[in-house]
Amino acid sequence: MRQLGSVGRTGPAAPARARAEGDDEMRLPRVLRYALTGGLAAVVDIGGFALLALALPGVLLPAMLSFLLAAAVNYRASAGWVFGHDWRDGRRAARFLVAAGGGLAVNAGATALLAALVQTPPLAAKVAGVGLAFGVNFLLQAYWAFGQPASRTARAARVNSPTPTPSPARRRPQHIRRAGRPAPR
């Protein structure tokens, strides 16, 4: 069993990588971990909406704010526990939010279409919309926001070996190198 503080793990993402590389037989499948973080986010969204609706006028503003709060909770939980990445990566956070917005559009669109066109009861339409959005969200997060998951061997090689940096002579453009000195190969 690997320990969180094993040698060679440094940097802000080290604990997330250590958790992501734990023993496979002790870990839940990624899609199940994503379902659990999504469930937590749903509780935050609904609970946040209920509290904000008491303090703010209308429905739209509390709904938007609770969605953003739930998205932040979901991102923080998903980045490290589900996908094994550092949550402080701004590019991934932006992609996550865009993908979450896409999931919201799929959820609301499927719910509205099923309720209006197919005459599905609203609660059943919402459940179907949530299920469809879950699948779309998981695929967007796994393959776009967080990128293709690396193999365990490749991930271990990146974590345990320092990234080679080019020598200063290699970084200089050709016109700056001293005359008579061969360029490094």
The model's pLDDT over 102-122, given as tens digits with 9 standing for 90+, comes to 988 888 888 888 888 888 888
Q: What is the pLDDT of residues 7-54, one digit of tens each?
A: 444 455 444 444 445 545 467 899 999 999 999 998 898 888 889 889
| pLDDT of residue 3 exceeding 50 | no
- CA quadruple 78, 82, 88, 92: dihedral positive or negative? negative
What pLDDT score does 180 carry? 59
| pLDDT of residue 74 exceeding 70 | yes
What pLDDT score does 99 carry? 92
Q: What is the pLDDT of residues 75-101, one digit of tens each?
A: 999 999 998 888 888 899 999 999 999
What pLDDT score does 123 carry? 80
Cβ partners under 8 Å of residue 70, min gap 6: 41, 42, 44, 45, 48
Question: Domain boundaries in the chain?
Answer: 15-20+29-147
Lowest mean pLDDT among 7-11, 52-56, 143-147, 157-161: 7-11
What pLDDT score does 8 carry? 44
- The answer to whether 140 and 102 are in contact (CB under 8 A) is yes
- The answer to whether 107 and 119 are in contact (CB under 8 A) is no
